Amino acid sequence: MLNWQQVFDGEIMEKRLHILSGSHSIDLVQKVAKRLKSPLHPLKMERFANGEIKYQLEESVRGGNVFVFQTHSQPVNDAIVEQAIIIDAAKRASAKNITAVCPYLGYSRQDRKAYGREPITARLVIDILAMAGADRIVAVNLHSGQTQGFFNGPFDHLTALPVLAKYLKKKFNGGAVVVSPDSGRVKLADRYAKQIGADLAIVHKRRAETNKAEALDVIGEVAGRDCIIVDDMIDTGGTICAAADLLKRRGARSVSAAASHGLFSPPAQQSLAASAIDSIVVSDTVPLSIKLSKPKIEVVSVAALLAAAIKAIHEESSVSAIFDGSNQI
Ligand code: R5P
């Protein structure tokens, strides 16, 4: 059976695969298109004077399999609306099948009502994509796997874990401790620990208010060890900075961080520069928006994973088979 790395050895492309992209994922989508040997479908984007977006597909997609890429990076609301508009254009242009490809699915953190009178925005965003005409969704590392259930159709949930774990395994070569920065990431941290042959520790995090994280305690042996904090995303950096400070106070030899999505919203640049973190690795689901000399930020690509998934969807073969089941989290 082929795995996702071998899948490109043979001849692949068919004619009716159309890769369309919004303006937020250009670097990543170009890498994916190159792997698939399929040029990006030409789109014309304009804006009305009041800021409204206007798109036109410059070639036919009639009867084709259309993949509409957009990562929901900042400005997030524009990213989502832009993707919905392209999907709508493809639907009205008689595409046979439309897949919304969201390397980072925006608003995915609010996937339940944690308190009274709150919205469930993960569901809302998925409803917008579905209403626009998406028949299928592909996303990388959702905040929680259950979010797939908000879409009444096929949902391929990929994970950047194999590419990040490969990088970490090479860098640490055994002896490290993978640290979950909160109770929500324990399963993820356990999978990293197994893949890179490391021990596991867990930080007890409390969020007194939105965007303010406190690390209260750590369970596991961290003194004298190289600790790797793993998370689905780094947004302001508050979670990993708080965990890193605590780990250093508990005697960690070094503290690194790994995350699928490097959002790095303000004040991430300042917080990370002032933190106890030695190095960071993220995937390219979101374009890197900050520059730091310390901690150094490495970026590994999920282009091969996304290209392999798109090829499997287009050819109607199994997505799980090429990822050997590791595409689920
Ligand atoms: C929280 O549940 C998430 O998994 C991340 O830990 C969080 O969103 C990261 O945000 P920040 O970097 O702002 O702490």
172 and 108 in one domain? no
143 and 219 in one domain? no
Structurally, how many domains does the chain consist of? 2
Sheet holding 279-283, edge to edge: 212-219, 199-209, 177-180, 226-234, 254-262, 279-283, 296-300
Q: What is the pLDDT of residues 157-174, one digit of tens each?
A: 999 999 999 999 999 987
123 and 13 in one domain? yes
CA of 221 to the centre of ligand 1 (A): 23
CA of 8 to the centre of ligand 1 (A): 35
Closest residue by Cα to residue 122 from 144, 141, 100? 144
The number of the ligand 1 atom at minimal distance from the alpha carbon of 184 is: 2
- Whole-angstrom CA distances from 164 to 113, 244, 329 are 31, 19, 14
152 and 165 in one domain? no
Closest residue by Cα to residue 187 from 143, 223, 220? 143
273 and 196 in one domain? yes
Question: Sorting pLDDT into bands at 50, 70 and 90, what band is 25?
Answer: confident
pLDDT at 11 over 60: no
Question: Sorting pLDDT into bands at 50, 70 and 90, what band is 242?
Answer: very high
- What mean pLDDT is reported for the chain? 94
173 and 119 in one domain? no
CA of 111 to the centre of ligand 1 (A): 14
- Predicted local distance difference test score (pLDDT) of residue 328: 58
* Percent over 90 (pLDDT), the chain: 88
CA of 296 to the centre of ligand 1 (A): 20
282 and 272 in one domain? yes
Ligand 1 pocket mutation pick from 105, 239, 282, 297 by most atoms within 8 angstroms of CB: 239
Ligand 1 pocket mutation pick from 233, 263, 290, 297 by most atoms within 8 angstroms of CB: 233
264 burial level (CB within 10 Å; 0-12, 13-18, 19+):
buried
In a domain, 252, yes or no: yes
- E-assigned strand segments in the chain: 17-21, 43-47, 53-57, 65-69, 97-102, 136-140, 155-158, 177-180, 199-209, 212-219, 226-234, 254-262, 279-283, 296-300
Q: Is 15 or 166 the better-scoring residue by pLDDT?
A: 166
Q: Could you list the residue range(s) of the whole structural domain that residue 174 is in? A: 161-300
The number of the ligand 1 atom at minimal distance from the alpha carbon of 207 is: 14
**pLDDT, average across residues 234-244:** 96
Question: Sorting pLDDT into bands at 50, 70 and 90, what band is 323?
Answer: confident
In a domain, 50, yes or no: yes
95 burial level (CB within 10 Å; 0-12, 13-18, 19+):
buried
Catalytic annotation on 205? Answer: yes
- Predicted local distance difference test score (pLDDT) of residue 8: 64
Q: Which of 205, 248, 294, 311 is catalytic?
A: 205
In a domain, 329, yes or no: no
The number of the ligand 1 atom at minimal distance from the alpha carbon of 239 is: 14
Residues sharing a CB contact under 8 Å with residue 112, sequence separation 6 or more, in sequence order: 120
317 and 270 in one domain? no
**pLDDT, average across residues 249-265:** 98
Q: What is the CATH number of the domain that holds 183?
A: 3.40.50.2020
Provide the 8-state DSSP code for 288.
Answer: -
34 and 12 in one domain? yes
271 and 206 in one domain? yes
In a domain, 328, yes or no: no
8 burial level (CB within 10 Å; 0-12, 13-18, 19+):
middle
Q: Are 201 and 224 in contact (CB under 8 A)?
A: no
- Distance between CA atoms of 98 and 235, rounded to whole angstroms? 30
In a domain, 228, yes or no: yes
Q: What is the pLDDT of residues 75-126, one digit of tens each?
A: 999 999 999 999 999 999 999 999 999 999 999 999 999 999 999 999 999 9
At which residue do the structure tokens 């919203």 appear? Answer: 265
Closest residue by Cα to residue 28 from 292, 262, 253, 277? 262
Claim: this prediction has a pTM higher than 0.85: yes
In a domain, 142, yes or no: yes
Angle between helices 161-172 and 303-314 (to 10 degrees): 150
Q: Ligand 1: residues whose CB is within 6 Å?
A: 109, 181, 184, 211, 213, 231-239
Q: Is 124 or 320 the better-scoring residue by pLDDT?
A: 124
Q: How many CB atoms lie within 10 A of CB 44?
A: 9
In a domain, 136, yes or no: yes
Ligand 1 pocket mutation pick from 147, 235, 246 by most atoms within 8 angstroms of CB: 235
179 and 90 in one domain? no
- Predicted local distance difference test score (pLDDT) of residue 324: 66
CA of 208 to the centre of ligand 1 (A): 13
Bridging pattern class, strands 43-47 and 17-21: unpaired
317 and 262 in one domain? no
- Predicted local distance difference test score (pLDDT) of residue 262: 98
The number of the ligand 1 atom at minimal distance from the alpha carbon of 242 is: 14
Q: Are 173 and 311 in contact (CB under 8 A)?
A: no
